[in-house]
Amino acid sequence: MTDKTKKAKIAVIGSTGSIGLSALDVIREHKDRFEIVALAAGSNAEVLKQQINEFNPRFAALSDETAAMNLKKSVSGVEIRAGEDGVASLCEIDDVDIVLVSVVGIAGLAPALKTLRAGKRLALATKEVLVAAGQLIIDETKKYNAEILPVDSEHCAIFQCMQAAGALKSKSVERLILTASGGPFLGKSFDELKNITPKEALAHPTWNMGSKISIDSATLMNKGLEVIEARWLFDIPPEQIDVVVHPQSIVHSLVDFCDGAAIAQMSNPDMRMPILYAFTFPERAPLQMPPLDLAAIGKLTFSKPDYKVFPCLDLAYVALKEGGIVPAVLNASNEIAVQKFLDGEIGFLEISSYIEKKMEKCDNINNPTLEDVISADKWARNEL
Ligand code: MG
C-alpha cells in the first residue's frame, strides 16, 4: 500500500460484534486508506443497516436469512446476500484485498477458507478457526499464496516482535511467551469459583469484549486457545510456548531468542491497534491513542498461571499434544459449555469437566481432512 492513491478494499465479516465495531472505527479514522466493499453480520439487521448507510458497501450479508430478507426491503444501492453461504461468498469478491473475519467460533471457518482460497489477506480475529483446523488452514494459506495477519493482541504482538528481530521463520526463536490478564477471577481458589454467575464472569477487568471470549478469559480457555493459535501461526511446538499472567495487559506478549534476548510489544490495551496493523502491514499508520504512560501505570507484574484453579488452560495443551481432531473437539465442546453456562444450565466449574469428558470420549483421527474436522465439531456439539 505504498501507492497512496489506491485504497485497500476491505470486507468485514462480523461487522456488528466487538472487533467488527473497532475495525469500523479504524476505517472511519483512515478513510483515505481504506474502502469497505462488503459487510456481514449474523442477525443484527438494525446495526448493519446503519453501517451500510454510513460506509456504502457494494455488498452486505446476514447469516440469518429472515433478517436478510427484511434488510433487503429497507436499504437500496447494495446487494444483500443471505445465509452462511451468502456471508462466506463475500470473501471471494474479486477486488477485495483484505478480509477481516471476526465472527464468533467455528462459524469463522468457511469465511476464512474462502478468503485464503481466493489468495487474499486474511485478518483473522476468530482464533477458533486455527484451533479446530490449524494444519489445514496453514496448508491452504501456502497452497493459495494467501496470508494470515493475526487480530489477537498477543499474536499481533508476537508477529511484531518477530518483525523487529528480523526473525520470522528463523531458527533463532527459543520461546513464545503469551501474556494473560488472568481474567476477573485471578487469585481466587477453586472453591471460590463454584457459585460464580455469568454476570460476574462477563466482567473482564481490562478488555471489553463479546460474551463468548469474556467467559473464555474467565476460565483461561481463551489463553489455551491462543497457545494453539500461536502454534500454527508461528510454527512453534507447544513445549516452546509459555503463558505468564500479567494483569495490567500492557505487555501483549514476548519472544525469547536463542541469545537470551527477549523482545516484547507494549501498548495500552486497545484492539484497534492489532486491527490497523493487520490492515496496513508492513507499514504502520497513525492511530489516535493516549500515549503509553509507564510512570502513571507504575508497576507491571507477572506470575505463573494456576493450572489447578483454571484447568481449561491445561486441557488446551493436552489437545494440542494429542493433535488430530482433539483440538476441534476441545473447541466445539467449549463453545457448547460456555453457552450452557451463560444459559444457567451448568456451573462455572463444570465448563472444564464438560470439555474434558468430550475429549476423553473422542476417537482421534491423525492427519484429519477438513471433513473429519467438521464432523468432529458436529460430534462434539451433541449431548454427552
Ligand atoms: Mg487475545
What secondary structure letter does DSSP report for 91? Answer: G
Q: What's the rounded Cα separation, in Å, for the pair 135 and 126? A: 16
Give the SS3 label for residue 292.
Answer: coil
Dihedral over alpha carbons 18, 23, 28, 33 (to 10 degrees)? 180
Determine the distance separating the centroid of ligand 1 and the alpha carbon of 176, expressed in angstroms: 14
Q: What's the rounded Cα separation, in Å, for the pair 325 and 347? A: 26
Contact partners, residue 143, CB within 8 Å, separation at least 6: none
Determine the distance separating the centroid of ligand 1 and the alpha carbon of 256, expressed in angstroms: 19
Q: Please name the helix (run of DSSP H) or strand (run of DSSP E) that holds residue 107, with its range, or none.
A: none
Contact partners, residue 9, CB within 8 Å, separation at least 6: 34, 35, 36, 37, 95, 96, 97, 98
**What CATH architecture does domain 8-150 belong to?**
3-Layer(aba) Sandwich (3.40)
Determine the distance separating the centroid of ligand 1 and the alpha carbon of 59, expressed in angstroms: 29
Determine the distance separating the centroid of ligand 1 and the alpha carbon of 269, expressed in angstroms: 10
Residue positions counted in the chain: 384
Q: What's the rounded Cα separation, in Å, for the pair 125 and 143? A: 21
Q: Please name the helix (run of DSSP H) or strand (run of DSSP E) that holds residue 101, with its range, or none.
A: strand 98-101
221-234 vs 128-143: helix axis angle to the nearest 10? 10
65-74 vs 45-55: helix axis angle to the nearest 10? 40
Determine the distance separating the centroid of ligand 1 and the alpha carbon of 127, expressed in angstroms: 9
Cell of 30: 483512515
Determine the distance separating the centroid of ligand 1 and the alpha carbon of 226, expressed in angstroms: 7
**What CATH architecture does domain 158-266+308-380 belong to?**
Orthogonal Bundle (1.10)
Query: Nearest to residue 380, comparing CAs of 333, 347, 312?
Result: 333
Contact partners, residue 3, CB within 8 Å, separation at least 6: none
8 Å CB contact between 227 and 241: yes
* Series of mean pLDDT values for 10-residue runs along the chain (384 residues): 75 97 98 98 97 98 97 96 98 97 94 98 97 97 98 97 77 94 93 93 82 94 98 96 97 95 96 98 94 96 96 98 97 96 96 97 96 96 79
Q: What's the rounded Cα separation, in Å, for the pair 45 and 43? A: 6
Determine the distance separating the centroid of ligand 1 and the alpha carbon of 248, expressed in angstroms: 14
Cell of 358: 468430550
Q: What's the rounded Cα separation, in Å, for the pair 219 and 204? A: 11
Contact partners, residue 199, CB within 8 Å, separation at least 6: none
Cell of 225: 486457545
Determine the distance separating the centroid of ligand 1 and the alpha carbon of 153, expressed in angstroms: 5
Query: Nearest to residue 91, comparing CAs of 108, 67, 71?
Result: 108
Determine the distance separating the centroid of ligand 1 and the alpha carbon of 222, expressed in angstroms: 7
Determine the distance separating the centroid of ligand 1 and the alpha carbon of 71, expressed in angstroms: 33
Determine the distance separating the centroid of ligand 1 and the alpha carbon of 178, expressed in angstroms: 9
Domain boundaries along the sequence of the chain: 8-150, 158-266+308-380
